[in-house]
Amino acid sequence: MTKAEVSAYATRLGDDALILGQRLSEWCGHAPTIEVDLSLANLALDLIGQATHFLGVAGDSDQLAFHRDALDFSNCLLVEQPNGDFAQTIARQFLFSTFQELHLQALTSSKDERLAAIAAKAVKEVAYHRQLASDWVVRLGDGTEESKTRIEAALDWMWRFVDELFEMDELEMKLAKERVGVDKSTLRVEWDRRVDAVLAEGTLARPAPRRPVLGGRRGHHTEHLGHLLSQMQFLQRAYPGAVW
């Protein structure tokens, strides 16, 4: 285990949280109700806080957030997908938060004390994220004909990005073996169980298997990330060195 390897691993964790936090912040002032607006804003704040800590392990969190190009980001493709309608946002959150809770819970046993401490704090927040998203999946699935149609379409669209959540490359396999990182492949059975339970409660069918779309960890992103970063990084790009 080297410092560079731990930094790369922490950057992946931070990028996932940062990009999803930025996505959720786009709902501010646009959500269906005030309560939902506040809920999504709070999720975004939690995720940005997690990103600050994980990127802080890797280096200067502000530099990493605001001064990298899209090809330098290592987030999974799921979190960069557009918000779409409310159902699409909920589907994305449900699939990712169910994974993230399991991932962070396992990471609390990391030999790296910094990663373990961040995970221990963050997993409590993510447990709420997962519950909130799960409740909405059930409400939409067992609601009106339109809400059911929308959440089914959203889950079907997001499903192609699920396999990447559990993908293990050479770096992650090495850190998992050294008990610094997590073997994400071992989380799939429990993830499937939790997801299937929520879908059953919401009277929703599990989406059919899709050809997986991979590459985010290697910097191969969809066109959506570039548009997201152009907004998120605007002030630092337009006014280099600006501070609050």
What is the per-residue pLDDT across 56-75, written as a single tens digit (0 to 9) for each?
A: 999 999 999 999 999 999 99
CA atoms of 154 and 92, how far apart (whole Å): 8
The domain segmentation of the chain, as residue ranges, is 3-238
Q: Tell me the per-residue pLDDT of 157-215, one tens digit each, with 9 for 90 and over.
A: 999 999 999 999 999 999 999 999 999 999 999 999 999 999 999 999 999 998 999 99
Residue 108: pLDDT over 90: yes
Residues in the chain: 244
Residue 7: pLDDT over 80: yes
Residue 132 in tokens: 């909130």
**Burial of 26 per CB tally in 10 Å (0-12, 13-18, 19+):** middle
CB contact at 8 A, 112 and 176: no
What pLDDT band is residue 244 in, cutting at 50, 70 and 90?
Answer: low
Q: Mean pLDDT of all residues in the chain? A: 96
Which one is the CATH code of 3-238: 3.30.70.60, 3.40.50.720, 1.10.4030.10, 1.20.1260.10?
1.20.1260.10
This prediction's pTM: 0.96
Q: What is the dihedral of CA 147, 76, 185, 92, to 10 degrees?
A: -10
Please tell me the predicted confidence (pLDDT) of residue 236. 84
